[in-house]
Amino acid sequence: MAARPDGHPGAMEHAGCAVVEVTGTSDVSVEDAIRSGLGRVGPALEWFEVAGVRSTVLGSAEPYQVVLRVGLRQVLA
């Protein structure tokens, strides 16, 4: 494995990131909806940003929806 530019040993060398959108939902909170969305991504997650937050009227099954833009690490072969 190659070291990062800052010299940190053991870092994985990668070719960049693929950017995709993921939606997470929760009936508890916005934070829980973020965790739900990130839980669907897997170990290739490099970074994320919240692109949007939606909520429905009270009484809905899953009133919190969060749209996440995530960067997925592309590993060099």
> What's the rounded mean pLDDT across residues 62-77?
85
Confidence grade of residue 55 (pLDDT, cut at 50, 70, 90): confident
Q: What is the pLDDT of residue 30?
A: 94
> Does pLDDT of 41 surpass 50?
yes
Reported as a pLDDT band with limits 50, 70 and 90, residue 1 is very low
Query: How much of the chain, in percent, has pLDDT values that exceed 90?
Result: 51
In angstroms, the first-to-last Cα distance of the chain is: 12
User: 17 near 73, Cβ under 8 Å?
Assistant: yes
Residues 6 or more apart whose Cβ sits within 8 Å of residue 41: 22, 48, 70, 72
Q: What average pLDDT score do residues 55-60 get? A: 73
CA–CA separation, 1 and 75 (whole Å): 11
